[in-house]
Amino acid sequence: MVTKNSGKTRGLCEVKRKQLGHTDQSAATVSKQETAELVGLIKNNGSTVFLNGHHHLTSQYANEIYLLFAKAQVSYHEYLKKGAIGNDDFLVIQRCGPWRVNDPACMEQLAVIILAIVLLADKARFVS
């Protein structure tokens, strides 16, 4: 999701054929990849007024869709720029879902949420 006037990325979307693994090992691997994607988004776009400072990633694994929201402390942005680690350099990621693509009620609920995110991104382009 990219804004028209500034070209800033407001969110990412990824799709994978395989279902999200529910073992500790596969969940950790996915989390590392998603974290890396969100860190790249934060590093390239800095802080944001969008979604109350949260960055957004939509992930689909086979028939399940998850929404991830990441919020970095102010010092975390400095860590990404300078590499100096402080006591409060945290990135907090929340995963919501799954919404199942073969369940009409799930898709209706997810559509409302994604529409709200798109509308907020559109509104944010006039602010940032």
How many domains does one find in the chain? 1
Cis peptide before 98 (omega within 30 of 0): yes
Residue 109 inside a domain? The answer is yes
Poorest-confidence range of 21-25, 31-35, 54-58, 70-74? 21-25
Residue 26 inside a domain? The answer is yes
Residue 4 inside a domain? The answer is no
* φ, ψ for residue 6, nearest 5 deg: -105, -20
Confidence band for 52, pLDDT divided at 50, 70 and 90: confident
Task: Residue 65: give the domain boundaries.
Answer: 11-124
> Averaged over 40-65, what is the pLDDT?
83
Measuring CA to CA, how many Å separate 12 from each of 1, 7, 71, 83, 84?
6, 14, 15, 24, 27
* pLDDT the model gives residue 65: 93
User: pTM of the prediction?
Assistant: 0.79
> Averaged over 4-24, what is the pLDDT?
69
Residue 3 inside a domain? The answer is no
